[in-house]
Chains A and B, each alone.
Chain A
Amino acid sequence: MVKYIIKRLLLSLFILLGVSLIIYILIRMMPLSYFETQFLPQLNSGVMTQEEFNRILALYGLDDNSFFGILKGYWGWLTAFVQGDFGTSFQYGEKVEVIIRDNMGISFGISFVSLLLEIVIAIPLGIKCACNQYGKIDYTATVLCMVGMAFPTFFLGNLMIKWFAVDLGWFETGGLVSAALPKDAGALTRFFDMLWHLVLPIFVMVVLSIGGLMRYTRTNTLEVLNADYIRTARAKGLSERKVIYKHVFRNTMIPLVTQLSFTLPTLFGGAMITETVFGIPGIGQIAYNALKVGDIPLAMSYNMFIAMLTVVGILLADIMYAVVDPRVKLVG
């Protein structure tokens, strides 16, 4: 087990190295780097000379855009990154880790609540559907789930904003604080105001992702239901309730636990499009803007953050598999 994990961790390092190299080269190839956009007016009006501009670029190591220049820049980035220096954001002038930490909270909150709701709804529903295979409930739930899965995030999001936020006026959207909120509002009022803004985004996220989990649960439950030990359980005269909750459910959880490990990137990495649609200042929207303006340190760190979460999620899935199912031995 330990040998296996060490081997996998070494492999993950290799993967991250490859990912970072590809992303760094791509980001450096982006045409209008942040400084070029920022100082173009000054350059054109002659307030700043080309030499001064080049000096600024050189200061950030962006002056040499040849292949070897980019490689050199990558090496510089990598050595700093390994030593725990993630760089300073061009846009905000703050340390990248501070920005990520400050904005991750809200993204994590939304994703966490959505994930909880998803689990609470999808798993019982999936089991229910599997037990009534081809029944009315099964059909309705399957079709509804597939419709939910087919909706593009931004379409459903904008539809919800139009109907529920503007037409009906039930919810607030756009940011996290209502314009009408009095300045001296207490902490509790502020909190509920924020919750009010988060209802629609969470709803959208749940609708979009519930289908996958529900269908996964259903498939696995069906597989378990056909297993010999379920027949044995029934044959020895257990009540259907006991068969389902004690024998089926526990075995269904094995693949589900692994499946949930894969949600790690979405849990911490924020939902770029949902956050952009609803104007939530989470890590996803910050990263989106960073990529748009070419804020290299922030964009790089965000992408690496996501890649790391993906790698860790996969590793976690494999380990969890061995943890929940004692039959599985991890061979290194």
Chain B
Amino acid sequence: MKDRKNLSENGLPTEQTAETENVLATEQTAETENVLATEQTAETIDDLHGENLTERVKVLSPGMTVLKRFFRSKLSVIGLVTLIFLFLFSFAGPLFSPWRADGGTTKDYAAENIKSSYDHVSIAYTVDGEEYTALAVSVSTPSYNILGDINGDHWMGTDASGYDVFTRLMYGGRVSLTIGFVVVILETVLGVLLGGLAGYFGKWVDQLIMRIVDVLSCIPSLPIMLILSALFDSWGLGDSIAKLYYMMVVLTFMGWTGVARLVRGQILSLREQEFMLAAKCAGLSTSRKIFKHLLPNIIPQLIVSMTLGLGSIILTEATLGYLGIGAPLDTATWGNMINLASNETYRQYYANLWLGSGICITLAILAFNFVGDGLRDAFDPKMKR
């Protein structure tokens, strides 16, 4: 009932939804032994039998328990392996590719790979009452391979600018996979700071911060991104990748609200617990109480929300790319590559240009979600089976 009251006060009950939704059991076999219990039993049995049982009973640190539980879950391991694969693909992959996304060998001039394109115009004319149609066929042969077929040199063909799609996919991953870290770290810092202030000090500080959170979380994000893109273009940022980073930074100013709610909710309940009373009795300073005693207790939730956040940022970048309002279109990012799917010709006849990036985006989001869920279950002491 108390929780309920907090909810009604801050107006937005998403905390509750987020938390309850979370307990998905992707884990197949959770660690059954409780660390503390193991220790205690070991000691008591030691006393009883006079022999050193601690040597035979392995005591796991809490961190190790979490790791062990994490790796017991098949889905989280699949997610982790997928992520490692995607990162290797993006960062080590280009080293083995003869092509480059910019600078170096970007275009393929080998004659056997160059495909001529045909275009025709039909002209209808009438002679002596009979209708004729003449076809004017024009053949254009580019000097390098564009929109080439899939072959041994180009595993996914080449795009309209002559770039090797497979290599571009690797370079795209570098941007798409890493941009999330910038956003998530900024969001978490802001969210912990403001949510922590609101939760710890309460009263008007809480009121002020939570009202700002309410306002910010009611702003629809997609329209704001469209506006920001136009704004940044007018400031001359439109033709460098910096625009994408600036947009993401601005997005964090709207995205920290989720973290702030999470942190505030946790701190509100932790604040009332005995160990905080003990900390108070010990005469600890406020900053020590916050940083040494409160924050470490919410780190599990933060790690989970950060992992899931990384997945959602990949989706955001892809959406920006698809709408053509992210990084400049010649920059290799997964979002920019899937942008080609909006062109009817490319969608139908050159699926090799965008299918790969779509699969990569989906895989990355899925993997981050698997890992996030696995971590949440691993951190949750109630998850026993």
Contact = CB atoms under 8 A, between A and B. Distances in A.
A112 to B, nearest CB: 20
A150 B218 contact: no
Contact of A317 (B13, B23, B366): B13
B21 interface: yes
Interface in B305-346: 311, 315, 318-319, 322-323, 338, 341-342
A4 interface: yes
Interface residues of B, number: 58
Interface stretch (B122-130, B137-145, B230-238, B284-292): B230-238
A98 interface: no
B319 A311 contact: no
A110 to B, nearest CB: 17
Contacts of B222: 272-273
A150 B369 contact: yes
B251 interface: no
Interface string B342-368: 100001100100110010011101100
Nearest to A330: B8
A204 interface: no
Given A150-B362, A151-B362, A258-B13, A158 B21 contact: no
A262 B217 CA distance: 13
Contacts, number: 161
B24 A311 contact: no
Contact of A146 (B4, B228, B370): B370
Majority secondary structure, A binding face: helix
A154 B369 contact: no
A328 B4 contact: yes
A30 B215 contact: no
A331 interface: yes
Contact of A11 (B11, B13, B20, B220): B11
A284 to B, nearest CB: 9
A242 interface: no
Given A162-B347, A287-B223, A155 B21 contact: no
Contact of A314 (B5, B12, B22): B12
Contacts of A218: 24
A222 to B, nearest CB: 7
Contacts of B13: 258, 314, 317-318, 321
Given A219-B24, A273-B222, 9 more contacts: A8-B11, A15-B11, A19-B218, A26-B228, A26-B231, A31-B233, A158-B347, A219-B20, A307-B219
Interface of A: 4, 8, 11, 14-16, 18-19, 22-23, 26-27, 29-32, 133-134, 142-143, 146-147, 149-152, 154-155, 158-159, 161-162, 166, 212, 215-216, 218-220, 222-223, 255, 258-259, 262, 265, 269, 272-273, 276-277, 287-288, 291-292, 294, 299, 302-303, 306-307, 310-311, 314, 317-318, 321, 327-331
27 contacts: A8-B8, A18-B215, A19-B218, A19-B219, A26-B224, A26-B227, A142-B26, A146-B366, A150-B365, A150-B369, A151-B362, A152-B358, A152-B361, A152-B365, A155-B362, A158-B347, A215-B21, A215-B24, A218-B24, A222-B25, A292-B226, A307-B220, A314-B11, A314-B13, A318-B13, A327-B1, A331-B8
